[in-house]
Amino acid sequence: MNEQFPTGKNTVSYSEVSTWASCAYRHKLAFIDKIVIEQNWIHARYGTALHKGIENYLKNKSLDLDAFSLELKDIWEKENYPDYETWNSWGITCLTALPEWMNSQFPDWEFIGVELRIEENIPKEDQIKFKGFVDCIIRIPLNKEKTRWKTWIIDWKTAGPRGWDRQKRSDELVLSQLYLYKSYFMQIFGGESREIGTAFILMKKGSKKEKCIDFIPVSSGPKSMEKANKMVINMITSVRKEKFFKNKYGCKWCPYFDTSHCSR
């Protein structure tokens, strides 16, 4: 099959698949019609700055709080965002708590990589590849001799002070991000599924130092990975067939809701 994919690209990402799974019509507006809605990106911009601070720590095993504050200040000034001091203090609290938290959660952890780029063949698909960036990979020894290791694929998320509720923690669509990253990680590097753990780590805004980091391990066995890969195939098939059904139950957080682009 050599016809161009409707998005004009030969890759799909988790974010694209997840948008499609929430509402196929929303996927069409965002990824085919490429209609951009102005949104408030303050949380996303904070998340990017915090990610950099975390990466910096993981690579060097030492914190550079000044670099984080400077980066955040630069963004806040350029975008004219309010209340820099509060946002900065949230980030500093999380970063300051990170070293001790990492050492207790992942004793003897070793850094493997950050922002690992994936661009891999999708099983049973000959035109489109899966593309993504894995936030962080570390490993921990399973014995004193350090001859056996467990690898962890981690995705950092920023969240409000309460973190994620039970529904979000068990939402298969949310968890599919890690199912897919693990599946493609194994496609590249091999390894046994049981030797590779997956987790979201929440950095909570406005929480005290002792409570600002939440560990959400995600059980990602072969069946979960297979199911997530099936979702990707379904998405590609449906988009090729130009089936763009609206999901009126997904409108609450949709940027196209109540705009000229979607009258429902």
Residues found near ligand SF4 in the complex (CB under 6 A): 23, 25-26, 29, 246-248, 250-251, 254, 256-257, 262, 264
**Min dist. Cβ of residue 229 to ligand SF4 (A):** 24
CB nearer ligand SF4, residue 35 or residue 112: 35
Rounded CA-CA distance 68/57 in Å is 11
Please state the closest distance from residue 27 (CB atom) to ligand SF4, in A.
8
CA-based nearest residue to 5, from 235, 229, 176, 187: 235
Question: Least distance in Å: CB of 18 to ligand SF4?
Answer: 13
Based on CB atoms, which residue is closest to ligand SF4, 218 or 262?
Answer: 262
List all residues 6 or more positions away from 63 whose beta carbon is below 8 Å from its beta carbon. Answer: 53, 56, 57, 95, 96, 98, 99
Query: In terms of CB distance, is 32 or 112 closer to ligand SF4?
Result: 32
Buried b (16+ CB within 10 A) or exposed e, 32-69: eeeeeeeeeeeeebbbebbbbbbbbbbeeeebeeeebb
Which C-beta is closer to ligand SF4: that of 39 or that of 143?
39
